[in-house]
């Protein structure tokens, strides 16, 4: 078992280990004490893991309610947010009560947002069940729902009181969902940690507890420096600006992780073309992404990508900031004029 402390505006532990779900009540009790609990989950995860979670909680005397959404990104919407808030209010949840997000990033983002605004903020616990949620979305306090105009356009910063990751739950993930999480795992190594990159080349699934702990340590360091995403935290956008454009152009047929993998290859090639990253590192990055089952070739042209990327919420006037690798383990933000972006992206394709 591994424990990582996150020193955000409110500090909390991320606990990673095998079989933790059956002892959920112990960890909840230690983190938040006795409270009424609302588990938020999706239908897939509900069928697999709610029973174990509820059994542990009820055996310890917790009163437990459960709110289940349909699986998939389409559920991360304002209608479900409002239904969830009404659900809490009807059941008289108070400011001392607690929500539990049991699932992937969709459940975590929706539950976290509801916890952040219900009664102006109640506590919540993240129990991530996807690799992506374990290494990224469950840690750091970003919550959101999607609006018609785009993904994650409404949300609040609201830190969980605990993150409990039972790596056994990852055994039931579809390979493509596991691979999506690998894109974020590899991202941390490219941003921060050349040695970790080497370890990842030895296998991610085989060493998943250590891998998650490494990623969470990196995320915790970045969140401690820049909880509200005003500087250093932007490094976590490696591959994401172009990745978001790829996701949108595919009408979300290309998954987030696959799009980030392709976006990462594109920005790495841009870095090579600028002379700030060497070709060996670019080849190693592409081959590691490929080896975990992620795509690395972009099906779209530079003008198509630009059209969407320049509408990104992270655009600042006439420029856009791309995160570029100086090499594996070291990245930098690079402001690029929108007028020059097409030329750069062409070099990355
Ligand atoms: N808040 C943040 O900082 C942050 C960071 C990155 C991504 N995100 C968000 O996270 C979301 C993506 O998260 P995700 O990739 O976890 O997707 P997801 O929550 O949709 O889960 C993917 C699929 O896996 C299923 N699933 C979950 N756990 C399972 C398990 N243990 N076994 C079998 N199936 C399981 C789900 O039902 C779903 O069908 C996006 O909405 C993205 O915007 C948020």
pLDDT at residue 311 in the model: 80
Residue 324, beta-bridge partner list: 332
Q: Is the CB of 109 under 6 A from ligand 1?
A: yes
Alpha-carbon gap, residue 160 to 137, rounded angstroms: 11
pLDDT of residue 343 exceeding 90, the answer is: yes
Q: Is the CB of 172 under 6 A from ligand 1?
A: yes
Q: Give the pairing type, strands 330-337 and 145-147.
A: unpaired
CATH architecture of 184-348: Up-down Bundle (1.20)
Q: What angle do the packed helices 302-309 and 338-348 form, to 10 degrees? A: 140
CA of 72 to the centre of ligand 1 (A): 8
pLDDT at residue 309 in the model: 87
Q: Is the CB of 341 under 6 A from ligand 1?
A: no
pLDDT of residue 150 exceeding 90, the answer is: no
Q: Is the CB of 128 under 6 A from ligand 1?
A: no
Out of 72, 124, 133, mutate this one to test ligand 1's pocket (max ligand atoms within 8 Å of CB): namely 133
| pTM attached to this predicted model | 0.96
Alpha-carbon gap, residue 341 to 324, rounded angstroms: 13
Q: Which of 64-78, 261-275, 313-327 has the lowest mean pLDDT?
A: 313-327
Which residue's CA is the nearest one to ligand 1's atom 13?
Answer: 105
Alpha-carbon gap, residue 339 to 318, rounded angstroms: 8
Alpha-carbon gap, residue 98 to 162, rounded angstroms: 11
Alpha-carbon gap, residue 48 to 14, rounded angstroms: 22
Q: Are 101 and 125 spatial neighbours (Cβ–Cβ below 8 Å)? A: yes
More confident residue, 83 or 151: 83
Atom of ligand 1 nearest to the CA of 107: 19
CA of 181 to the centre of ligand 1 (A): 9
pLDDT at residue 330 in the model: 97
Q: Is the CB of 137 under 6 A from ligand 1?
A: yes
Which residue's CA is the nearest one to ligand 1's atom 35?
Answer: 173
Q: Is the CB of 240 under 6 A from ligand 1?
A: no
Out of 47, 48, 105, mutate this one to test ligand 1's pocket (max ligand atoms within 8 Å of CB): namely 105
pLDDT at residue 313 in the model: 66
Q: What angle do the packed helices 51-59 and 24-32 form, to 10 degrees? A: 60
Q: Is the CB of 152 under 6 A from ligand 1?
A: yes
More confident residue, 75 or 252: 75
Structure-token pair, residue 167 = 């790596």
Q: Are 191 and 331 spatial neighbours (Cβ–Cβ below 8 Å)? A: yes
pLDDT at residue 151 in the model: 87
pLDDT in tens, 47-94: 999 999 999 999 999 999 999 999 999 999 999 999 999 999 999 999
Number of H helices, E strands in the chain: 14, 11
Cα atoms in the Cβ-side hemisphere of radius 13 Å centred on 207 = 15
Q: Predicted confidence band at 127 (pLDDT cuts at 50, 70, 90)?
A: very high
Q: Is the CB of 156 under 6 A from ligand 1?
A: no
Residue 126, beta-bridge partner list: 101, 163
Nearest to 177 by CA among 106, 264, 238, 121: 106
pLDDT of residue 219 exceeding 80, the answer is: yes
Q: Is the CB of 227 under 6 A from ligand 1?
A: no
Out of 48, 50, 102, 132, mutate this one to test ligand 1's pocket (max ligand atoms within 8 Å of CB): namely 132
Q: Mean of the pLDDT values across residues 82-109?
A: 98
CA of 52 to the centre of ligand 1 (A): 20
pLDDT of residue 209 exceeding 80, the answer is: yes
Alpha-carbon gap, residue 3 to 15, rounded angstroms: 5
pLDDT of residue 345 exceeding 90, the answer is: yes
3-state secondary structure of 14: strand
pLDDT in tens, 275-306: 999 999 999 999 999 999 999 999 999 999 99
Q: Locate the domains of the chain by residue range.
A: 2-173, 184-348
Mean pLDDT (the chain) is 96
**Percent residues over pLDDT 90 in the chain:** 94
Q: What are the Cα distances from residue 340, in Å, to 24, 248, 297, 335?
A: 52, 22, 22, 11
Which residue's CA is the nearest one to ligand 1's atom 42?
Answer: 105
pLDDT at residue 310 in the model: 85
Q: Is the CB of 136 under 6 A from ligand 1?
A: yes
CATH class of residue range 2-173: alpha beta
Alpha-carbon gap, residue 115 to 233, rounded angstroms: 23
pLDDT of residue 134 exceeding 70, the answer is: yes
Alpha-carbon gap, residue 289 to 38, rounded angstroms: 37
Which residue's CA is the nearest one to ligand 1's atom 20?
Answer: 72
pLDDT of residue 19 exceeding 70, the answer is: yes
Give CA torsion, residues 283, 288, 290, 291, to 10 deg: 130
Q: Are 162 and 178 spatial neighbours (Cβ–Cβ below 8 Å)? A: no
């Amino acid at each position: 078992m591994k424990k990582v402390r996150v020193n955000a505006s409110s500090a909390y532990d991320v606990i990673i280990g095998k079989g933790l779900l059956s002892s959920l009540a112990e960890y909840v009790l230690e983190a938040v004490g006795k409270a009424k609990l609302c588990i938020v989950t999706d239908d897939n995860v509900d069928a697999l893991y709610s029973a174990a979670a509820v059994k542990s909680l009820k055996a310890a005397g917790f009163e437990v309610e459960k709110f289940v959404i349909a699986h998939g990104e389409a559920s991360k919407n304002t209608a479900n947010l409002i239904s969830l808030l009404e659900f809490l209010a009807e059941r008289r949840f108070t400011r001392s009560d607690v929500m539990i997000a049991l699932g992937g990033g969709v459940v975590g983002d929706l539950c976290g947002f509801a916890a952040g605004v219900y009664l102006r903020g109640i506590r919540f616990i993240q129990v991530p069940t996807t690799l992506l949620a374990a290494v990224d979305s469950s840690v750091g306090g970003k919550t959101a729902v999607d609006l018609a105009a785009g993904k994650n356009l409404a949300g609040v910063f609201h830190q969980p009181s605990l993150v409990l990751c039972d790596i056994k739950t990852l055994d039931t993930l579809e390979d493509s969902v596991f691979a999506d999480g690998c894109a974020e795992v590899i991202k941390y190594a490219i941003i921060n940690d050349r040695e970790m990159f080497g370890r990842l080349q030895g296998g991610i699934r085989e060493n998943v507890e250590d891998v998650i702990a490494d990623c969470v340590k990196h995320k915790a360091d970045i969140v401690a420096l820049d909880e509200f995403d005003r500087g250093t935290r932007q490094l976590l956008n490696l591959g994401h600006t172009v990745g978001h454009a790829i996701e949108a152009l595919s009408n979300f047929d290309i998954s987030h992780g696959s799009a980030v993998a392709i976006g990462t290859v594109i920005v790495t090639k841009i870095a090579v073309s600028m002379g700030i990253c060497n070709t060996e590192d670019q080849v190693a990055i592409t081959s590691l992404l490929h080896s975990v089952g992620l795509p690395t070739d972009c099906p779209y042209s530079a003008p198509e990508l630009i059209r969407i990327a320049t509408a990104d919420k992270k655009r600042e006037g006439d420029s856009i900031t791309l995160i570029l690798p100086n090499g594996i383990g070291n990245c930098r933000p690079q402001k690029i004029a929108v007028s020059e972006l097409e030329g750069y992206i062409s070099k990355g394709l």
